[in-house]
Structure 1
Amino acid sequence: MTDLKAVGARALSREPHAARRPRVEPRRHSIFTTVDLARDGKQMGYFHVPQSPHDDAWGTVRVPLAVVKNGEGPTVLIEGGNHGDEYEGPIALGEFLRQIDPAEITGRIIAIPAINIRAVEAGRRTSPVDGLNFNRSFPGDFDGTLTRQIAAYVNDCLFPEADYFLDLHSGGSSLMILPSAIIESGTTPENHRRNIEATLAFGASTVVMVDNLGETRTSTAAANRQGLTVVGTEMAGGGLVSQGALALCRRGIRNVLIHAGVLKGEIDLPPDANSRILKVAGGPAYMIAEDEGVFEPLTPLGADVRAGDVAGRIHFLHRPEREPIVLRHAGDGVAFAMRQPGKVRPGNCVYVLATDYPAEEWS
């Protein structure tokens, strides 16, 4: 049986696998960049998405794009700001880009620290321009709205350049989540194995396999389809900046780059790294509110629960004579995520449970 706690420290072959994948030919588009992906050194610039709104007939939306390159080797693409109210990833990635010296690496880092730029500026999960969720917009459309155009550029022009994809998420304004590294389900057994090993190298104490209910429009699902090794994260949430999650993110970025063979040094796995390997096992793991009111959570994040345990209550403030609705957990597991705002309506997710992910299910 594979040792889950040890495998995160094991590096894969340093040979880039992008060259071995079928080349994805980009669709016709008008996006242009201020950086050269093939040039050695460190470049901090933008890719420009032409837009023609009311106040700027021939303007562009500038999306930050950085390239750090030193010779030949693997390429790691790192994304932050997929949702604009998730802050640890963009902060840690910006710090890393300011500090890194190209002489410290072999290969290439491509970084897009605020990919959903208009949502980042607004501090919103979705874009204020078109109302779309960037992480439900892949493979994108160069003839679509702004969010779809940005997704198409990442899908067609950046994914084909990369061997690894690190997607830095947090819980955002609507969720609090256990700071975790996230395993993206691979499209093949080999792809899945590579995803697991790279995710364990990130060095989080909690690692969770999440399949997003089979969702195919996420950035990680799109990267998987192109054969990249994929690592995700969920760094706390609540629309706040968690110092603990930020420290985890800083270390994890470097660990994944070392695992990929791009950054020199030794992987830094803390004593509790990969101590809990979990999975979110489909629809029953999600507790969905069926009433409108104010949710009182009663299960702390990280708590072990049993089927039937009280999860929380929904209160009806406009009808004080009405007793609150008691919500109970449908199964056993660990409280992985919890709704942050008190106000809820039917359809809101209020808890997510995770269960053990035994090695025999993937090794």
Structure 2
Amino acid sequence: MKMNFKQPRYILPLILLPFLFIFFYIYQGVADPQKQEGPGKDSLQMNVAGVSDQVRNSALSGKLDAYRDRFKQSDGYTAIGAIQEEQAAAPEPSSLYNEREKRMLDSIDQVMKSRYGGTGITVNPGRSRTYSPAGNAAGHSSSFTQDRALAEALAKMSRPAPLIGSVPRRNAEPDAMQLFRQQMALVDSMGKAADPDFKAEQEKKRQLEEMKTGKLSEKKLPVSRSLSGSSAFNTITAASQENFITAIVDQNITGYAGSRLRIRLLEDMMAGRFLIKKGTYLFAQINGFSGQRVNMVISSIMQDGHILPVRLEVYDNDGSPGLYVPASAFREFSREIGNNTTQGLTLQQQAENNNQLVMGLLQKMFQSTTTAVGKLIRQNKAKVKYNTLVYLIDP
């Protein structure tokens, strides 16, 4: 007899067997009698140090008496130094010149001394500047010459002179950090260019982009109902004005986002120049959930060895796109309870010496399981019943 290990009665015991071994190992480690500690001893310390003779012979006294005795025995020294008298800072005489003007006047004074043999400008901080001729070089002509030289010096100082060795702003040296970042970006790009994994990822992205652009640019075949005559012999009926293609759901399914749903045609239809007969199976894909609707679309049809690119939207018999799935308060309530329950579950146990690795492994497995269960509970799903009438419409 050949056993099929994929059956639940064989695979479930095989899955549970490692967990049974792990739990038995933990139980044996916890219940090991050799590691049980002996009876506790009295924690009271019996060997207390004896009291010194000085304390034993001293008389009992209150806090006030002890303070007075301590004060009598003090020597009066303190760690706090004597506080010096506060000395008020003498106010400095105000000046009519700022620092820039003072420096400029000092430079002018140096120029005047070098040119006119000691004649200078004395700057008094509290008053305006005064001219003081040095030696016997006094007179009106000397004063006039000094005033003229001073005016020329002031005119030169007012004009901004170009700095020697200055570099234009546009040729300024770039920031070192910015240059370092650019160099690191270049090194990273060169390293990624030689990485085969990065190349494969880029190639995969390029192929996906090409597939997306190809699907968008791919021309869809127009789909309509077949207008062939009735198969009945010599039957005269009024022309039908229906433009919708009727079909039914051909399977019971609990669908998630991306699930496939089988649909069976109830009448002939034309996809371009191809005739698709009644009873042909079409496969729709669930592409989203909105409110109480399940949106589905048919993107391709297999007919006579050809893949026909189409776009058919599935409409319910109420005229709205998608299938109507009524909401259930109990379903939402159970989803919320399951989500909160899986988020709150944790494995609380202190890891011992020999059980630390096992408990860490169990903790990781437990967290992964609760995360997967919570994600499955939060995922949108809908039950679609067999024999549900739908309409296929080409937008």
Q: The TM-score by the shorter chain falls in which range? A: under 0.3
- TM-score for both structures, normalised by structure 2: 0.20
Query: Quick check: which one's helix share is greater?
Result: 2
Query: Quick check: which one's strand share is greater?
Result: 1
